[in-house]
Amino acid sequence: MHKEVVKNMTSGNPTKLIISFAIPLLLGNIFQQLYNMVDTVIVGRFIGVNALAAVGSTGSINFLVLGFVLGLTQGLSILVAQYYGADNYKKIRKSITMSVYLYAIVGIIITVISVMYSRELLEILRTPDNIINDADSYIRIIFAGIMVTIAFNFLSGILRAFGDGKTPLYSLFISSIINIVLDIYFIVVLKMGVNGAAYATVIAQLISSIFCYYKIHKIKEIRIHKEDWKFNGSLFKKSFILGIPVALMNSVTAVGVMVLQVVVNGYGAVYVAGYSAGSRVIVILEQIGNTFGFAIATYAGQNLGANKIDRIREGVRNTNVILGVINIALGVLVVLFGKQLLALIVSGGETEVISIGYQYLVVTSLLLWVLGLLFVYRSTLQAIGDTFIPMISGIIEFAARIGAVIILSSLFGFLAIPAAEVAAWIMATIILMITYYYRIRKFEENYKSKESS
């Protein structure tokens, strides 16, 4: 299956290839975001605005902790894909077992630390007193389930590396349905409050993990043998080194988001609720760009291996056009119907919360096309072997967020928050775009010099 995908991605119409590859990934990403959206809708409608604010206020520290861990899991996906292409199943099995060791060590350490210091993190973020208890209860349960989150991303990453995008999609669909059912049961029936939303999320991911494990176990060539558990320092190190740039990029970006959360928390619970509702909508819309980023990464990596640099240029250009059209259209729709969309998350009577969320939505949605460029250029650079500049772009995002919110807060109040987000996207995109064209030009020059010699 994987070899057929490689052949297809190096020949044929780039636009059709990228779109057909992106669609199942997009559906999977949307189902994954439903974890958070369902929590938000049910918490906001059945518990109240303060509970919604409590859950929303945990988003940045959730991203800080889980983003680092999940960045590490990408190292295994790269190794499995490489060894599968070389038909080296022994190294696939060894890579899996060494990654189990790595993720178990990191996962246990981070679980203990994050559960112990979750409240202190919330206090650093200036979480309002009237929501901090609920926020702490919610995020402690999520952090206690970090190993479940690692397991799901670990297992689904293996399947995707084998060219199987359908099983992760099916597992996410199943878990989304389970999450909805459990949310309603725990919150509406058992009256468990925000804790019910957290338990529903962890249990749904656990069931997804079991489903993915069942599918992987059916692949005879990668069933783990006793000798595969013998420690291999080289593969352990490879998995760590490949994942660490992405992990650090996620963490740096998360710290920038945390600073914004501190500023929002200073405005009070109503602003926290509005920001939470608005950002949840934007996260859903971002999945389109994120998905096309995954698709162009696979496309670019395969065509680089085939020395078809011209196809990389064409694919990147076409993807930028597609995403630009989609994101501009989404921006217009959000401006027209954003308040109605927010009313699905927050009770229609909470007019102030909806108004605040709408302000955030308008500014960020109109610049989604910039975020689309960021995803495309960053993913392409990572695919062609440059993981350093994307990591630097994360630092630039952080600096831009902080700088913008400091400069603009006194002038525009809450509107400085979405403005800071947009400023971060623009600054990171500039460095990524410049680096992309430089790298591609270098590849073309090197390829031409090899041909002439």
Map tokens 């970006």 to a residue: 253
Running DSSP on this structure, what letter comes out for residue 375?
A: H
Please identify which residue in the block is written with the tokens 């981070």: 110
* Overall average pLDDT of the 394-399 stretch: 90
Handedness of CA 306, 311, 317, 320 (dihedral sign): negative
Closest CA to 314 of 326, 303, 323: 303
pLDDT in tens, 106-128: 899 999 999 999 999 898 878 88
**Separation of alpha carbons 77 and 214, rounded Å:** 18
Residue with structure tokens 């994942």?
A: 243
Given a cut of 60, is residue 12 above it in pLDDT?
A: yes
What tens digit of pLDDT does each residue of 145-163 get? Answer: 999 999 988 888 787 766 6
So where are the chain's domains?
A: 47-247, 267-453
**Given a cut of 90, is residue 453 above it in pLDDT?**
no
pLDDT tens per residue, range 341-355: 888 877 666 788 888
Closest to 384 measured CA to CA, from 290, 316, 315, 301 = 301
- Report in angstroms the alpha-carbon separations of 140 from 26, 67, 70, 197: 29, 16, 18, 12
At 75 the pLDDT is 67
DSSP secondary structure letters along 236-250: HHHHHHHHHHHHHHH
Q: Which two tokens stand for residue 155?
A: 């297992």
What average pLDDT does the structure give for the chain? 84
pLDDT exceeds cutoff 70 at 234? yes
Tell me the average pLDDT across 261-284.
84
CA 441 to CA 206: how far, in whole Å?
45
Q: Is 164 helix (H, G, I), strand (E, B) or coil?
A: coil
Q: With cut-offs at 50, 70 and 90, classify the pLDDT of residue 374.
A: very high
Question: Which residue shows structure tokens 């995008």?
Answer: 165
Per-residue burial over 359-385, b if 16 or more Cβ lie within 10 Å, else e, is bbbbbbbbbbbbbbbbbbbbbbbbbbe
pLDDT value, residue 2: 39
Choose between 373 and 384: higher pLDDT.
373
pLDDT of residue 34: 66
Q: Regarding predicted confidence, which is higher, 359 or 53?
A: 359
Q: What is the pLDDT of residues 169-183, one digit of tens each?
A: 888 888 888 988 998
Report for 66-80, 118-132, 323-337: range of highest mean pLDDT: 323-337
Max Cα distance, the chain (Å): 74
Residue 219 pLDDT > 80: yes
CA distances from 38 to 43, 57, 59, 121, 250 (A): 8, 16, 14, 25, 24
d(CA 182, CA 188): 10
Position 7 pLDDT exceeds 50: no
E strands in 373-438: none
pLDDT for 301: 74
C-alpha dist (Å) from residue 381 to 74, 76, 206, 304, 391: 15, 19, 33, 11, 11
**Rg of the chain, C-alpha, whole Å:** 22
Among the ranges given (23-32, 111-120, 425-434), the one the predictor scored with the smallest mean pLDDT: 23-32
Place of tokens 């162009």: 296
Task: Tell me which amino acid residue 227 is.
Answer: E
Q: Residue 81 has what pLDDT? A: 60
| Residue spans of alpha helices (H) in 184-268 | 194-217, 233-265
Q: What is the mean pLDDT of residues 258-284?
A: 84
CA-nearest of 69, 25, 14 to 160 is 25
- Give alpha helix (H) positions in 86-193: 89-116, 118-124, 129-144, 146-161, 166-183
* pLDDT of 263 strictly over 50: yes
Contact criterion met (CB below 8 Å) for 44 and 52:
yes
Task: Please name the residue that has the structure tokens 């525009």.
Answer: 412
51: pLDDT confidence band, cut at 50, 70 and 90? confident
Sign, CA dihedral 212-214-219-222, equals positive
pLDDT at 165: 67
Span 434-453, mean pLDDT? Answer: 81
Query: Taking a C-beta distance cutoff of 8 angstroms, is the pair 231, 98 a contact?
Result: yes
Is 60 exceeded by the pLDDT of residue 192? yes
Of all residues in the chain, what percent carry a pLDDT higher than 70?
A: 90
pLDDT of residue 1 exceeding 50: no
- Residue 217: count other Cβ atoms within 10 Å of its Cβ: 11
At 82 the pLDDT is 58
Residue 29: pLDDT over 80: no
Question: How confident is the model over 355-373, as pLDDT tens digits?
Answer: 888 999 999 999 999 999 9
Residue with tokens 């939470």: 276
Residue of 56, 221, 226, 250 whose CA lies nearest to 153: 250
Greater confidence, 21 or 214? 214
Which runs of E-coded beta strand occur in 43-90?
A: none
Indicate the DSSP class of residue 186: I
Q: How many CB atoms lie within 10 A of CB 399?
A: 16
